[in-house]
Chains A and B, each alone.
Chain A
Amino acid sequence: MAEAPKPSSSVKLVLLGEAAVGKSSLVLRFVNNDFQENKEPTIGAAFLTQKCNLPTRTIKFEIWDTAGQERFASLAPMYYRNAQAALVVYDITKPTSLVKARHWVAELQRQASPGIVIALVGNKLDLAGESQSTSDEGEGEDGGDARKVSTEEAQAYAEEESLLFFETSAKTGHNVTEVFTAIANAIPETSLKSARGSGAAGTANRAGEEQRVNLSGPRDAGAKDGCAC
């Protein structure tokens, strides 16, 4: 598959959501197929890249994994500005995190680029009893169903706002690559073409970004197999 170069384009994606819902864990699962119990909170933001191979093209995600703490909220516009995709994450065991997610969706719709693809993601599905095959009875009593946000409620909200919707588990890996693949598919072809030239802000960092894309082209060819999708 490597010999025929498919058109490749980069997509800026931002993760938003309350603290400790599992944003970094989702990214870690997607990028490294890894999971860490009790991960310490992200400070500021982390920048990662991962490629996603679609039948007709390759999408290179440039992922901004932001910290969820309130004090970093004022920095968020810097990360979602010019983003083509956003993952708004909540924790299915914590209703307040969905409230926070709604706030983020509203802010994105108000302030981010008009064509932005937003996915609503309910994480920590492994803590909900029904869909996962829990191995033994012991944890079934307490941890069996910690779910506090129903799929229907979130689904209805996502449809209302025309968001992509997934429930995932970064711990088991359930649905994680599917989220990113779905986003990659949902990005309109036109937005990919315009992504480079538009230069909406025309700032110095945009120039840097372009250079970086050019530089990394040949180098990354070897790492192509890393992506599971």
Chain B
Amino acid sequence: MGQESDSPVEEQPPPLPPRPHASSVSSAVDPKAFQAQATTAITSLDIQTLSFPDGTRGTFSTHSRSTSTPIGSGYTSPNPPRPSSSGAEGDDAASIMSFAPTMRPAGDIASLLTSSLSKKSAAWNLLKAQAANAQPFEKHYRSADDRLANFEKEFDALPDETNEYFKDDERLAIWRSKLKQYMVLSSAGKPIWSRHGDLNLINSSIGVVQTIISFYEGSKNPLQGFTAGNTRFVVLTQGPLYFVAISKLGESDSQLRVQLEALYMQILSTLTLPSLTNIFANRPSTDLRKPLQGTEALLSSLADSFTKGSPSALLSSLECLKLRKSQRHTINNTFLKSRADKLLYGLIVAGGKLVSVIRPRRHSLHPSDLQLIFNMLFESEGIKAGGGENWIPLCLPAFNNKGYLYMYVSFFEGVSGEQATAPAAAVGQPVGEEIAMILISADREAFFSLKQMRDDVAQQLAKNGSLAIIRDAARAGRPSMAQIAPGSPICHFLFKSRANVQFCMSNLEPAFSHPVKRRRLMTVYHELHASTHAKNAHLKILQCVSDDSTSLAWLTPAFELYCIGGPNLSRAAMAQGANKIMQWIKREENRLFIIGGGVF
């Protein structure tokens, strides 16, 4: 190699003095590799001007005024990986622009770039003109490098053994193409549950996983996770059980671990910790599938909600139905007035959103327990489809992982709430509008007294109009960005109130109603969350600029706010939007969140 490449160098002197030999290197490597990509910027400079914990109107830096002018909007990043643009100069300019807002005050950039902007192609000018109203995730994704290209097939079942058109290796190929896998196995290597693929098909893969885990386990250095290509494996060991999450969706380890914890909680909720421990203490090789029979659907619906992207799981918090304070007060009081003696917790839930909760003074409900209940009621079909009233023994692991509680569940039917029993209550109602009453007792014989309580409460709620109010609120759905911050370029936000362990967000319709768009949105939120919650990150504000969106995370001891806008948003516009959202939340706080709840 040396001779051939050296000789031309000797014959012709290098064109530029500073890089005589580097030229041979750079010619071998794609020059684009050295160019900057759109980047994640930490913008600490403007933080102080943004933070208004009390939600009062703040003062903004004057740069925000320039956002409406075309020049101002031009300094945000364009779409870097444009396959058509081969010119190195053009790409370099783009990378300067993507860096620019993070390096220097915006005003300077505007003047700096005016000249270069005018040289852009007609197409670029057209794009620039639309920049302000661009929506996130509207760029054209090339299927080859888009990891969500097959997301729509993610939840399809694998063809089963009886299907003659598929051979085993073809079914394995489909199995491998899934973006997200979860596996539960015993430390003895017995498969317990897996989200995709029947256990016979993937038995050998489970064997490999068990071998890898136990190898590290043996050397007293438990395996936490590893990466293969673009796939992350995360391992959680809980007593005799191994949980494995395999994700191509780019979640962080701790986020995946939270998801695995939730699966473990579901197993505990079915069996309780002592009985799980007993089973394996007596016979380590036990096949846990038998005792868990019937729980598969719950595990799968949990897993699927994580794969779709669950704000509730991400933030470990709950969402409430937005109601006027006085209305919620009436509901709480109605609920409290008819309380049965045996009652431990009482909940009214509409479409997975908490309407009212009553609880003893000493006990509060843990979000992870409620997540299990909501998953059982609203994500899986087992209870809704059966109709009637249900009496369900379950363990709420965060409350007490040693014993069972008994849960009475009844879905409301009809506005009147008149029905004595609710045959096939929620069938046919759109998801999100089903209203359920959940009454939890420690007494397994309490069914009829709780049923009586439910009938009384339902009658009262129907009489004082609360039921209709709940129904209307559930039907109205989440507020849209146009209602919250009119004119703001922000398309969606997610807000967690840390004190109340509750979250709220704006309507996913229409921009994010498609599952793929929704997943892209959730991926951005997951990335923001991961960066701001990383071990040594003491970030207060994080703005991410990518070629398909601009996003912002804002964390204080009181709240976490995540929001997203189109790809070409200026930092000032994001900040202004975020402040508008905060003002709205402050104003609506008593409606968005259950503060205190009914206590007895």
Contacts and interface: CB of A to CB of B under 8 A. Distances in A.
Contact of B455 (A43, A63, A215): A215
Interface string B431-448: 000000000000011111
A48 B421 contact: yes
B90 interface: no
Nearest to A75: B393
Nearest to B382: A40
B382 A43 contact: yes
Interface in A4-37: 19, 24, 27-28, 31-32, 34, 36
Given A46-B386, A47-B391, A216-B420, A41 B451 contact: no
B388 A46 contact: yes
B452 A31 contact: no
A127 to B, nearest CB: 15
A67 B424 contact: no
B237 interface: no
B447 A40 contact: no
Contact of B388 (A19, A36, A41, A47): A47
Contacts of B297: 40-41
B222 interface: no
Query: Which residue among B270, B418, B420, B444 has the maximum number of chain A CB atoms within 10 Å of its CB?
Result: B420
Contact of A24 (B293, B386, B418, B447): B386
Contact of A45 (B294, B298, B390, B445): B390
Contact of B382 (A41, A203, A216): A41
Contacts of A46: 383, 386-391
A167 interface: no
A44 B390 CA distance: 7
B271 interface: yes
Given A47-B389, A70-B293, A75-B393, A205 B447 contact: yes
Query: Which residue among B270, B387, B427, B451 has the maximum number of chain A CB atoms within 10 Å of its CB?
Result: B387
Given A28-B424, A48-B421, A75-B393, A40 B387 contact: no
A69 interface: yes
B387 A70 contact: no
A69 B293 contact: yes
B155 to A, nearest CB: 15
A71 B270 contact: yes
B117 interface: no
A40 B393 contact: no
B444 to A, nearest CB: 6
Interface string B386-427: 111111111000000000001100000000001111011001
A42 interface: yes
A40 B388 contact: no
Contact of B390 (A47, A63, A206): A47
A212 B452 CA distance: 7
Interface in B354-383: 376, 380-383
B129 interface: no
B165 to A, nearest CB: 16
Contacts of A110: none
B448 A75 contact: no
A78 B445 CA distance: 8
B386 A212 contact: no
Nearest to A47: B389
B434 to A, nearest CB: 16
B199 to A, nearest CB: 17
A55 interface: no
B283 to A, nearest CB: 16
Contacts of B53: none
Contacts of B394: 43-44
A34 B386 CA distance: 11
Nearest to A31: B423
Query: Which residue among A24, A47, A63 has the maximum number of chain B CB atoms within 10 Å of its CB?
Result: A47
Query: Which residue among A19, A43, A78, A208 has the maximum number of chain B CB atoms within 10 Å of its CB?
Result: A43
Interface string B126-143: 000000000000000000
B385 interface: yes
A48 B291 contact: no
B451 A212 contact: yes
Query: Which residue among B389, B391, B407, B444 has the maximum number of chain A CB atoms within 10 Å of its CB?
Result: B391
B45 to A, nearest CB: 54
A209 B449 CA distance: 8
B44 to A, nearest CB: 50
A141 to B, nearest CB: 13
Contacts of B455: 212, 215
A200 B419 CA distance: 29
A44 B386 contact: no
A50 B423 CA distance: 9
A72 interface: yes
B220 interface: no
Given A70-B293, A71-B270, A32 B449 contact: no
A19 B423 contact: no
A27 to B, nearest CB: 8
Nearest to B388: A48
Contacts of A2: none
B290 interface: yes
17 contacts: A40-B382, A42-B294, A42-B386, A43-B383, A43-B390, A46-B383, A46-B390, A48-B423, A50-B423, A67-B294, A71-B293, A204-B445, A205-B447, A205-B448, A206-B448, A208-B449, A219-B420
Given A46-B389, A75-B444, 20 more contacts: A19-B294, A39-B386, A42-B294, A42-B382, A42-B386, A43-B383, A44-B390, A45-B390, A46-B387, A47-B447, A49-B420, A50-B423, A69-B293, A203-B445, A204-B448, A205-B446, A208-B449, A219-B418, A219-B419, A220-B420
Nearest first, the 6 closest Cβ-Cβ pairs linking A and B are A208-B448, A44-B392, A48-B388, A41-B294, A40-B382, A205-B448
Interface of A: 19, 24, 27-28, 31-32, 34, 36, 39-50, 63, 65, 67, 69-72, 75, 78, 203-206, 208-209, 211-212, 215-216, 219-220
